[in-house]
Structure 1
């Protein structure tokens, strides 16, 4: 018997981080700060922040500097060279922070980049201090505070899209320069909109559903998925995305939510991010559920920030259609990612991936059931069928647990 432990699996992004040297990170930071300001800068009292990605993340205090630097700084050090032909997390993060640092302070939705160096593969950023994350709010005991933080996150995501929608050429130029200096390709030629190329999702998932669940995908559902894939790879509605839209990658500050961790940052269709509001934290290693109505409120908050940029989204039917198609593609991708690993699972938990899949498919069935667009009734029926089959296998009555703040 195998128990569903998917909710507690460690993220592979953090593998090896414990072996990285704090001392090397501090030395690299001192070097790039000295190069940036033209004078020796000494950092002390280094504290390991235990980042979840490939970088060593350290908080350090400025001991001596002739310049008006913040008292403490955050260092992100990527040891070792970039690998040719592979996506370079350092290049993506450095290009992302450079893009935002060039914006006005009110449009900067992340800490300020103070110094960086491709040779040292290090970034030094402003330290917001010991602020709570969105995950802290969701896992706390105050439902009102959690709701406020979620709406702030959605608004901040809309502001991020609004301020970066016309900066794709700038971001790509920064990324090319950093990748060239790192002597490795940036891996950006492949569309990573939902983790793999959307065409791969539409090509592979129907066969998986047929083989693993004996569920046949109706033609209108194929059409909806193909429609989404074409939309997401087109040139419309493109803006910067952190990609890893996880609760612990966002700080709750007095000025609103601030985004962290741009190791996979890129410009892509903003509809991918907006669909994450409909399928909350679908790519998070440990997602839980939100209460009824919360996703709709988050979409409304995001929409209010971007409708002046993309007037099409002022039309309810247009926005709903785009979100529904993209939601389908996200859930197909999540199913392709998680279902094969659940083949031998029984006694599935309410915090694991089996429960997440059942909940996400049921949500899609509900959203499609409210649509009056031709073909969406088939999407609703397809989603309900998949949810029923998954629940029969891993349940019954399996639903994803709410975040603690809403229990």
Structure 2
């Protein structure tokens, strides 16, 4: 766990005051900083506005990325906030950007308030409340996707203006590509045969990052720990490495990452909650993507993306094949953060240090494939889950 000292928080507040004062043309004073945590060594602080020449909200959220980490992370996130600021209020996925400074890696955002986390809702004991929550989650994803279709050129223009070259980087796409390339060797080590159809589906999942029929904006990490429910609805709180990809990657990511948060009560309604999440998402996007109205086609595409995410989360716990692979594959440090070769860290909702979570993801994938009428994926997921169970838990 990263320890944030009082002096570091004070430095963050001073940096935000400087950015806001420059923007306002008059001194802005902040007080009562509250550490909200962050991803990796990122610092996130809530502060109260005292001197307020811009008539800003009474509280703001300040986010500062470490100066010695990959600058592309900051530029990606800044471009994502700038792009999202231009969306209609009802389609905006999260907080608004108030001010920024690329040199000091500072973002000043509107405060979404306290609200309730999606994690706590899924961990509760009210299945009806959980169903309403995941439906709201799916609708929010769908509204964001529908509002951003066709906006990729605008997003890339913002990104290129701020930092040339950042548009070429998607660290999850890179990691997924290496994981898929490594799949045959890893399967052999696990004693599992990789069917040709599954290999093809894994490759198709990778293609959804750069291609796909349903491209839209994604904050990138849309897992439940990055979702807040407040008076304005569902809010996505983390835009690090945001960009455009096939929207089915987002809905599949939500399905994969929500399972570990379910209480025993809600876990008993897992299939119903998944249906509620997907149906709510489809209700918002079927008008622009009519092909998703076909249950079989929609289920197959989501299953392909889900297969990819489940395999990627698995490879982060498997040993690398050799020293060259160690240098390329995203590695996991003791704090549980995915570490890129450039040194950038992010605690993705997809990542887990618990082998039971990964085994459960394969079990859930197999069950979803059975429901979707896909026996090849169902059998493969069950076999791999059993192999991981033997390897890690017996």
In the TM superposition, what whole-angstrom CA distance separates every residue of 1:357-385 from its partner, at most 9, and x where no partner exists? Answer: 2222222222333445xxx4332222221
User: What does 1:7-406 correspond to in 2, within 5 Å?
Assistant: 15=2, 17-18=4-5, 21-80=8-67, 86=70, 88-179=72-163, 185-186=165-166, 188-194=167-173, 196-198=175-177, 200-211=178-189, 213-281=190-258, 290=267, 291-340=270-319, 353-372=354-373, 376-395=374-393
Q: Secondary structure at the residue paired with 1:390? A: helix
In the TM superposition, what whole-angstrom CA distance separates every residue of 1:107-147 from its partner, at most 9, and x where no partner exists? Answer: 22211211112233211111122222112222344443333
User: Unaligned stretches of 5+ in structure 2?
Assistant: 321-351
Tell which deviates more after alignment, 69-78 or 229-238.
Answer: 229-238
Tell which deviates more after alignment, 200-209 or 352-361.
Answer: 352-361
Quick check: 1:47–1:60 contact (8 Å CA) kept in 2? yes
How many Å apart are 1:307 and its aligned residue? 0.9
How many Å apart are 1:231 and its aligned residue? 4.3
CA RMSD of aligned residues (A): 2.6
How many Å apart are 1:395 and its aligned residue? 4.7
State the TM-score, normalizing by the size of structure 1: 0.80
Change (3 A) 1:272 1:64: same
Larger helix proportion, structure 1 or 2? 2
Distance 2:226 2:82 in 1: 18
Change (3 A) 1:24 1:87: closer
Change (3 A) 1:41 1:159: same
How many Å apart are 1:295 and its aligned residue? 1.0
User: Unaligned stretches of 5+ in structure 1?
Assistant: 1-9, 342-350, 397-407
Distance 2:182 2:4 in 1: 33
Distance 1:20 1:306 in 2: 47
State the TM-score, normalizing by the size of structure 2: 0.82
How many Å apart are 1:24 and its aligned residue? 1.7
Quick check: 1:242–1:265 contact (8 Å CA) kept in 2? yes
Give the total of aligned pairs: 358
How many Å apart are 1:193 and its aligned residue? 4.7
Change (3 A) 1:322 1:62: same
Quick check: 1:194–1:272 contact (8 Å CA) kept in 2? no
How many Å apart are 1:312 and its aligned residue? 1.2
Q: Residue in 2 aligned with 1:400? A: none
